[in-house]
């Protein structure tokens, strides 16, 4: 003979194992089953949402400092020992003229920098800008360190128009790891 219990809705005596009362058809599941059926699925959906948002943050921003932080440290990166060179790049179907600026990047600050973007502007003898180029590489510099760089591109104008030039650090990112929020 199975154990008996009293239905809490209609107070009739029923089988202790019943999850639905055979008399009044009320569900007799306990508090733990309510938790499992409502709270757990909601928590699971919330975790899925959090995971999607986190992955999205990693893919769009990455584990890196935002570039705007560079503005506060711009003066810590100094360009020196620059030199301009003209050359030719030879490939199978022909050749093209190249202009290149090399130099040293000195970091006076306590932060390491990566993804450094250098821009070079070229001026003619009347000090008018004739050309501008940007490095495509992966330039980085350690804290209190130095890095050699080369910024080069195809030369589109006569060599004698490249009278002077100016190198600027346009952008850089902190090299340290950062939580993506």
Q: Give the interface with Zn ion as residue ranges (CB under 5 A).
A: 7, 9-10, 21, 23-24
**Distance in Å, CB of 27 to Zn ion, minimum:** 10
Beta carbon nearer to Zn ion, 18 or 79: 18
**Distance in Å, CB of 1 to Zn ion, minimum:** 20
**Distance in Å, CB of 178 to Zn ion, minimum:** 60
Q: Distance from first CA to last CA of the chain, Å, rounded?
A: 62
Beta carbon nearer to Zn ion, 28 or 171: 28
Beta carbon nearer to Zn ion, 24 or 35: 24
Distance, CA of 181 to CA of 163 (rounded, Å)? 46
Beta carbon nearer to Zn ion, 16 or 132: 16
Beta carbon nearer to Zn ion, 12 or 134: 12
Cβ-based burial of 123 (10 A; exposed 0-12, middle 13-18, buried ≥19) = middle
**Distance in Å, CB of 15 to Zn ion, minimum:** 12
Report whether 134 contacts 151 (CB < 8 A): yes
**Distance in Å, CB of 38 to Zn ion, minimum:** 22
């Amino acid at each position: 003979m199975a154990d008996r219990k009293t239905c809490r809705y209609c107070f009739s005596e029923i089988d202790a194992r019943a999850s639905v009362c055979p008399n009044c058809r009320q569900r007799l599941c306990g508090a733990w089953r309510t938790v499992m059926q409502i709270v757990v699925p909601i928590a699971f959906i919330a975790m899925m949402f959090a995971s999607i948002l986190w992955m999205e943050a990693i893919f769009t921003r990455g584990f890196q400092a935002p570039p705007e932080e560079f503005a506060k440290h711009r003066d810590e990166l100094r360009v020196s020992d620059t030199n301009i060179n003209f050359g030719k790049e030879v490939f199978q179907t022909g050749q093209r003229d190249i202009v290149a600026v090399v130099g040293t990047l000195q970091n006076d600050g306590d932060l390491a920098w990566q993804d450094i973007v250098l821009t070079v502007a070229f001026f003619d003898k009347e000090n008018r800008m004739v050309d501008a180029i940007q490095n495509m590489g992966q330039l980085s510099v350690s804290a209190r360190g130095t890095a050699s760089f080369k910024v080069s591109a195809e030369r589109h104008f006569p060599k004698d128009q490249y009278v002077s030039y100016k190198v600027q650090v346009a952008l850089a990112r902190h090299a340290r790891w950062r939580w993506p929020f």
